[in-house]
Structure 1
Amino acid sequence: MSNIDKDSGADTIGTRIKSLRRSVGLSQANLGESLGVTFQQIQKYESGRSRIAADKLQRIAQALHVDVNYFYDTRNGESLSEKEVRRGQTLPTPEGILFNEHFDRIKDPRARYLLSELARVLCEIEAGK
């Protein structure tokens, strides 16, 4: 397959699907089953070899518990996974990804600090401290 045959938009979306699917612990077979397609079709979506219809992408977003805009978000010219690599972070859940996106939008340093302290205290409560 030549580079001309491969759609860079489909490739970017596919990469995001793959990353998010792995982060939530779903296999290609599990995701395919929830969409009514084979794991081979999921492989084609993730590799960018197959375009994804809008309704199918919406169902993928629902299965992975994110808004469909997650797959298109390219603020500042970088994808979410590139931001994670640049920060040296791995966000294990869709909720973690969304939390970080929203946290990054908070400009007030005191509000950022208080929110991080709240997260720390909640972790301590869950750990039984």
Structure 2
Amino acid sequence: MTHKKPDPVDIHVGSRVRLRRTLLGISQSTLGDKLSVTFQQVQKYERGANRIGSSRLYRIAEALDVPVAFFFDDMPEEITGKAPSGPSMSNVTVKDMRLLHELSELSDIQQKAVLNVIRAIKAGSGE
């Protein structure tokens, strides 16, 4: 029996599902419950082993509070065959995304205070 290798697009979309899920701190089981599927099915989606149909992708986007386009963002040139057209987040890690998420939940005054602290730290380090 030959096993077909997952399509690179399915792998990319699955990795974006995993990125957003972990950013929100949601377990595979919790996401599965929201979608009425098992956590094993969520695992398969995240690995790209199982393709995500359009209606399911729409439901995943709702559950993870992102537009459907999020799952196709930053698709590597090897997959698309064309160079990225705008700013890329391909070097952004889950830690970076968590930090951005936490910052986005702060008030404007709190964000400015954090920015001032960062600037003071950079100035003190000679950068």
Give the TM-score normalised by the residue count of structure 1: 0.64
Counterparts in 2 of 1:68 and 1:23: CA distance versus 1, 3 Å: same
| Aligned residue runs from structure 1 range 27-106, under 5 A | 27-74=27-74, 76=84, 80=89, 82-85=90-93, 90-92=96-98, 96=101
Larger of the two Rg values belongs to structure: 2
> Matched residue pairs, number?
101
2:20 match: 20
Deviation at 1:79, TM superposition (A): 6.4
Unaligned runs of 5+ in 1: 100-115, 125-129
Greater per-residue helix proportion: 1
SS in 2 for 1:92: helix
Deviation at 1:59, TM superposition (A): 0.6
Residue identity over aligned pairs, in percent, reads 33
Unaligned runs of 5+ in 2: 76-83, 117-127
| Aligned residue runs from structure 1 range 103-114, under 5 A | none
Following the alignment from structure 1 to structure 2, what is the Cα–Cα distance between the partners of residues 73 and 47? 17
Following the alignment from structure 2 to structure 1, what is the Cα–Cα distance between the partners of residues 95 and 33? 30
Following the alignment from structure 2 to structure 1, what is the Cα–Cα distance between the partners of residues 31 and 5? 25
Q: Deviations over 1:36-66 (max 9, x none)?
A: 0000000000001000001101111111110
Regions of 4+ moved over 6 Å: none
Give the TM-score normalised by the residue count of structure 2: 0.65
